[in-house]
Structure 1
Amino acid sequence: MSTLEVIPFSEPLAERLAGPPTGTVLFWLGQAGFAIASAGRLVLIDPYLSDSLARKYRGRAFPHERMMPPPLAIGDLGPVDLVLVTHHHTDHMDPETLAPIAAANAQCRFVVPRASSGEATRRIGVGSDRLIALDATDTVEPLPGFTVTAIRAAHETLERSPEGHHRFLGYVFATGGARLYHSGDTVPFEDLAAEVSALAPTVALLPVNGRRAELTAAGIAGNLTLAEACQLAGAIGAKHLIAHHYGMFAFNTLEPAIIDRAAMEAGCAVDIHRARTAVEYRLSN
């Protein structure tokens, strides 16, 4: 059974990533983004490290100004071996983050929804030889000892491309005895827990910003609430929940104190950890 140790640190994240390997460790990059270091490899999930959305939406009804700076510059990531992208929204598939990563790491490949493979090619600037296009239930081993299984997600609905491929995905990522579930952006839907629990993740990385009618009406899809994230983490058999997708945009967040209070109460069947920068989440068996 994997355990999760929470280790604050004071040095820059770039120095932490460049240090000697310590098993399987996670770092939060903000929003839904995570870095996973294991076995000398660096894997990113949904990194948003630019300010592209602030420029795009400046002066509009929902400005996307950052509430938190990126925890490191894109150029300070060091060698990146693999990037998982859950869907096409820019805070998950950001051309100003992914294209520089692709240019600096010729060996790096990108796991993307098959429904968005064309958009991924355009935004990342790579050919199909560097894309690993998945649909729900597909499993691949993109690196030795690393497996990725795609799971359906509903943001806020289950959507398919004209070809029948799911537009939104989550991933169960397994390496070194650790099994992590990153749901992507999703709300609860029938059979989600059963699909994920069959893969036995011990750590769930789940959004907690919820959803609001006025945002949905404006075309800004929502996510799990904190209560729903707790329920889903328990239903899939995870022991730890790392709550994320908050603290980036003021119009679409959750107060950190609410997450901290839930972590101290006994209302959730799993251990709740609020995603924080300058914290290492270390998995061990």
Structure 2
Amino acid sequence: MSQTVSPETTPITPPRERTFPADFKDRLTCPLPDFREVLSVAWHGGFRPDIGDADQIPVLRAGLPPVSTRDAAVTWVGHATYVLRIGGLTVLTDPVWSRKIPGVRQRLTPPGVAWSDLPPVDAVVISHNHYDHLDAPTMRRLPRHTPVFVPANLGSWFTKKGFTNVTELDWWESAQIGEVAFDFVPSHHWSRRSLFDTCKSLWGGWVLTSPNQRVYFAGDTAYGDRFKLIGDRYPGIDLALMPVGAYEPRWFMHVSHVDPGEAVQACADVGARRMSTMHWGTFLLSGESLMAPVQEARAAWIASGRDRADLWDLAIGETRVLTG
């Protein structure tokens, strides 16, 4: 089913012309794993966990319940994809509806929302260009006039595919649709889509702010001091959408991904009252057991002394609502 943009949505102004650096390697906070380290992990089976408990991954395909314009709703589609309805807009985060992405086996669980059940999409936010976060087949299903917010130097990927409303942002920059602000914020990660474009485009997370709610989408990130910087600049975050999976073997993954305990600490660092888990239960990217990310996130949350009700460990397809 083809998607359309809501007629009441005021399109964003096309981005101003400017020049970004040739690469963003100076933004890295850890050296990237070298080729020998990647081979070592692959040789020892670090990316091939037992998938025997895949049937335990909760899936609840209940559709999208209605939400008022004063409220915000998040629905986990799988991996880092959420349907976020905020300020009267429907926003997709890192949308991946494909059954398979390059380099890994097909997804373990179906998308939590059928594509045909999506309302008109008002905007898309992209955290970085890795294949599990930027999926070309999914993007081709969207109308080319859909507003897309992307990291610096990633805009040409979209314009070459015919997208006409693309906004590139550097860290701490902001754009707006209606009453919703889209702010691009730092993360501890990196970018690459081919052998020759390492860190050529930027990476980061997004803070979406409406008159009634503020939601932080972390994208992909390791742990570090940038979370506190985000919390200082954007006080009063109601909900943090945090990755909790793809963290083993730790010696290899710590430069790219938080583990569940670090995700809980990062949620505290940004000052978010609630945390919703993601980046697990969809693709096989690392060596931990399939249910470990959410189980360890629950344990870390309880150990931190926070209210269990504020940990939204959603089933795939499940929706929670932030009231206005």
Range of TM-score over shorter length:
0.7 to 0.9
Q: Counterparts of 1:67 and 1:198 in 2: how far apart (Å)?
A: 37
Larger strand percent: 1
> Given that residues 156 and 221 in structure 1 are in contact (C-alpha distance below 8 angstroms), is that contact kept between their aligned partners in structure 2?
no
How far 1:116 moved relative to its partner? 1.5
How far 1:145 moved relative to its partner? 0.4
Larger helix percent: 1
| 1:240 has 2:274 as partner | yes
| 1:193 has 2:193 as partner | no
Letter matched to residue 139 of structure 1: S
| 1:45 has 2:81 as partner | no
How far 1:10 moved relative to its partner? 6.9
Equivalent residue in structure 2 for 1:208, among 244, 253, 257: 244
Equivalent residue in structure 1 for 2:143, among 102, 123, 147: 102
How far 1:67 moved relative to its partner? 1.2
Identity of aligned residues (%): 22
Deviations 1:249-270 (A, max 9, x none): 234355233334444x242546
Q: Counterparts of 1:248 and 1:43 in 2: how far apart (Å)?
A: 20
- Partner SS for 2:215: strand
Equivalent residue in structure 2 for 1:77, among 96, 99, 118: 118
> Given that residues 45 and 85 in structure 1 are in contact (C-alpha distance below 8 angstroms), is that contact kept between their aligned partners in structure 2?
yes
Q: Which runs of 4+ in 1 moved over 4 A?
A: 213-217
Q: Counterparts of 1:248 and 1:35 in 2: how far apart (Å)?
A: 16
How far 1:74 moved relative to its partner? 2.3
Q: Counterparts of 1:262 and 1:282 in 2: how far apart (Å)?
A: 23
Instruction: With the length of structure 2 as denominator, give the TM-score of the two structures.
Output: 0.69
Q: Counterparts of 1:42 and 1:277 in 2: how far apart (Å)?
A: 18
Q: Counterparts of 2:155 and 2:291 in 1: how far apart (Å)?
A: 31
Q: Counterparts of 1:242 and 1:209 in 2: how far apart (Å)?
A: 13
Say what the alpha-carbon RMSD is for the aligned residues: 3.1
Cα–Cα, structure 1 residues 101 and 193, in superposed 2: closer, same or farther, change >3 Å? same
Equivalences, count = 254
| 1:113 has 2:151 as partner | yes
Listed as ranges, the gaps of 5+ residues in structure 2 are 1-58
> Given that residues 86 and 180 in structure 2 are in contact (C-alpha distance below 8 angstroms), is that contact kept between their aligned partners in structure 1?
no
| 1:183 has 2:183 as partner | no
Instruction: With the length of structure 1 as denominator, give the TM-score of the two structures.
Output: 0.78
Aligned to 2:20: none
| 1:276 has 2:315 as partner | yes
Letter matched to residue 83 of structure 2: A
How far 1:235 moved relative to its partner? 1.7
Letter matched to residue 230 of structure 1: V
| 1:21 has 2:65 as partner | no
Aligned to 1:151: 185
Letter matched to residue 157 of structure 2: E
Cα–Cα, structure 1 residues 28 and 130, in superposed 2: closer, same or farther, change >3 Å? same
- Partner SS for 1:25: strand
- Larger Rg, first or second structure (1 or 2): 2
> Given that residues 260 and 297 in structure 2 are in contact (C-alpha distance below 8 angstroms), is that contact kept between their aligned partners in structure 1?
yes
